[in-house]
Structure 1
């Protein structure tokens, strides 16, 4: 059988863009995610999460919630960045901040957002993040992590679907990384959960892609209780 030596055409910059998207989705990206468990610590303390099965259910709940709150702001910020609409970026930032209930949740968004902007500007050329970071430092905008992430990914040339995948992946990876330090579970099981949870990414994207900023909302009372519990916990490893 003759070997097909036909070369696959490569769009200029596509491979570099893919490599950088992988870098920005890496769970080891130093933006402070290691300090947060996204409610998992309280879920374990209150025995909502006790094993691999309940951990997977928790992660699925978290990414579903993230899509309908952070994910909507993320998509609007990505579109605004692609259009050069700085006011649109700020609207997404303020919109998400006002809807994130709880001091620790807001703290997570702001700390990771600022660190992400500072990191991005150290390693690459992201002109829209220069103004955004300056406004964070002056107190004009809160600096939510998903918004900064969306701006950077838009400037890397990622379309909104690709960028949304990076955002959702980061949520799941952060929780599973925390799980390895909080419960008796191994890397093989967390990788299985991550692999399985990613099956819902297209479903979540289709559910929120056409929603407005005013339609950001979630109904997860158990999660809200867990976040509130963590605020007053006497012993804790994570900031939330």
Structure 2
């Protein structure tokens, strides 16, 4: 492994870590309500829920992030802003919008402190001046492009973040063990690879986020009785 590979791998691990301070541990992506309503109650139903969330993310946030990453490579900032707009259009409930905006702004604020990235500084200025929404997938694309992380690695990190958020939350509200959650994560790897081979060839008009069960869970969480995670 070359020195440059080690550097990009180290940065990928840093940005994919659950302790990376952007707030993803504060959300459960609707799992808290799904557990409360006994929809997710064991390892099998948790695996199904994590897979559904991964698919929803791949065909919405994943496509937008890939297009934003390529827009940066082509010095096309307007297309990057279009990707940011398309992400918001795919968020069907308030909790999803709050999550993607809060984490996006936090990542942008963090990135300008730890790396020299003029694109991220411009993006953060546009967020603060309300010229763009500032979504997490687009902020991820900017940060990882600036850090020398490849498009494939960025997509992998993004999908890992979605799955890890749910699996981490499950240990607090579903009757599963660490063995269960790690097996689910391990088995998701080939599915993520398969999804990338499809979505890498798609564009904004192909984006979709139709997983109504998850949107209903997130909407119920806004007024629900469970309060371990943000809503």
TM-score (norm 2): 0.96
CA deviation map 1:73-123 (0-9, x unaligned): 111111112222211111100111122111111000000001111111222
1:128 maps onto 2:119 in alignment: yes
In structure 1, C-alpha distance between the alignment counterparts of 2:141 and 2:92, rounded to whole Å: 21
Instruction: Answer with 223-232 or 138-147: which moved more.
Output: 223-232
Tell me if the contact between 2:91 and 2:209 (Cα under 8 Å) persists in the aligned partners. no
Greater Rg over alpha carbons, structure: 1
Q: Does 1:183 align with 2:168?
A: no
Native 8 Å contact 2:54 2:163 kept in 1? yes
Do 1:81 and 1:155's aligned partners in 2 also have CA atoms closer than 8 Å?
A: no
For residues 144-193 of structure 1, give each alpha carbon's deviation from its aligned partner in whole angstroms, at most 9, with x where no partner exists: 10110011111122221121111111111111111112123222221111
Q: Which residue of 2 aligns with 1:6?
A: none
**2:66/2:155 contact within 8 Å kept:** yes
What is residue 208 of structure 1 aligned with on the other side? 199
- What is the alpha-carbon distance in structure 2 between the residues aligned to residue 231 and residue 181 of structure 1? 19
TM-score under structure 1 length normalisation: 0.92
Counterparts in 2 of 1:1-240, with a 5 A limit? Answer: 10-240=1-231
**What is the DSSP-based 3-state SS (H/G/I as helix, E as strand, rest coil) of the residue aligned with 1:13?**
helix
Moved over 3 A (4+): none
Gap runs ≥5 in structure 2: none
- Structure 1: runs of 5+ lacking an equivalent: 1-9
CA distance in 1, matches of 2:216, 2:53: 14
Asked if 1 retains the 8 angstrom alpha-carbon contact of 2:56 and 2:209, the reply is yes
> Which deviations, in whole Å up to 9, do the C-alpha atoms of 1:18-52 show, x marking residues without a partner?
11111111111110111100111111011110001
Distance 2:23 2:3 in 1: 33
1:5 counterpart residue number: none
Corresponding residue pairs, total = 231
> 1:202 offset after TM fit, Å?
1.3
Counterpart Cα distance in 1 of 2:206 and 2:23: 29
Q: Which moved more, 1:201-210 or 1:68-77?
A: 201-210
